[in-house]
Structure 1
Amino acid sequence: MSRFVQAITASAADIDELGHVNNAVWVRWIQEIAVAHWMAQALPEHRDAYFWVVTRHEVDYRGNVGVGETVTGETWVAAAPKGARFDRAVRFTGADGKVKVEAVTTWAMLDRATGKLARVRDEIAAPFL
């Protein structure tokens, strides 16, 4: 399984009225790390031919992060795709070693030319499994 890791530091714009990273920001970070993983691992011809859309997010918020704090985001695909869809796991860990957010998100692959769902073939999934 190919894991992708990326550090993210919370800016003032990421903070809500409770003084920590807003839940909507965590969802944005989930999407950003997933896209970065695709861009880093997928073959250029696959990046050119396909794009992904989220069909479901399941997010568990376990801790808070304040402005200037850095989390380590990690994402991976644990199981083979089913048709046009696959589940992606995401975990954000704080500098204290504690998990702050965990998620499982379901993504669907679309053909850029047609805008329609496309089955994830083995050669497209291989760099991520």
Structure 2
Amino acid sequence: MRFEKTFTALPEHIDVMDHVNNAVWVQWIQDMATAHWDAVARPEDKARYVWLVLRHEIDYRGNIAVGESVTGETFIPGEPKGARFDRRVDFRDAHGKVIVSANTTWAMLDRETLRPQRVRPDIAAPFMGG
């Protein structure tokens, strides 16, 4: 299941190059993952598990300036591997061009013990079918 969210560049997001700072893109990637989990995961899974990012691989092909918006789209490109779940995030500008894309890897943890937990098929199912 694909998930979309729109972000607008505010003055505090802008760096010395007059466009969105790289650290803000990382925050927006995390915001996409969190919003997708909150929108799609079953209530019992949200209550029991949390996610920890293990890796972000980001390609920058463009940027936006203050007042401009992007639409982020995220999906899960494949089956989980143990506690790990890969995620793809693409940000498109007003013309529909992908200007920032990321492949990220997350680990699912038990909320109480903070130990990695295998992502069972029933937990992954609502996210599949990208």
Q: Residue 7 of structure 1 corresponds to which residue in structure 2?
A: 6
- Structure 1 residues 8-50: Cα deviation after superposition (integer angstroms, max 9, x where no partner): 1010000001000000100000000110000000000000000
CA distance, structure 1, for counterparts of residue 101 and residue 35 of structure 2: 18
Supply the distance in 1 between the matched residues of 2:98 and 2:82 (Cα, whole angstroms): 31
Tell me what 1:113 maps to. Answer: 112
Query: Secondary structure of 2:15's partner?
Result: coil
**TM-score, normalization by structure 1:** 0.98
Q: Report whether the alignment pairs 1:88 with 2:92.
A: no
Equivalent position of 1:37 in the other structure: 36
4+ runs deviating over 4 angstroms? none
Correspondence for 2:66 = 67
CA distance in 2, matches of 1:83, 1:97: 35
Deviation at 1:78, TM superposition (A): 1.0
The letter of the residue matching 1:21 is: V
Q: Please, what TM-score do these two structures have when normalized by structure 2?
A: 0.97
Stretches of structure 1 lacking an aligned partner (at least 5 in a row): none
SS in structure 2 at match of 1:38: helix
- Secondary structure at the residue paired with 1:52? strand
Counterpart amino acid of residue 81 in structure 1: P
- Is 1:24 aligned to residue 56 of structure 2? no
RMSD after superposition = 0.5
Q: Structure 1: how far apart are the matches of 2:10 and 2:99?
A: 16
Structure 1 position 80, deviation (Å): 0.7
Identity of aligned residues (%): 60
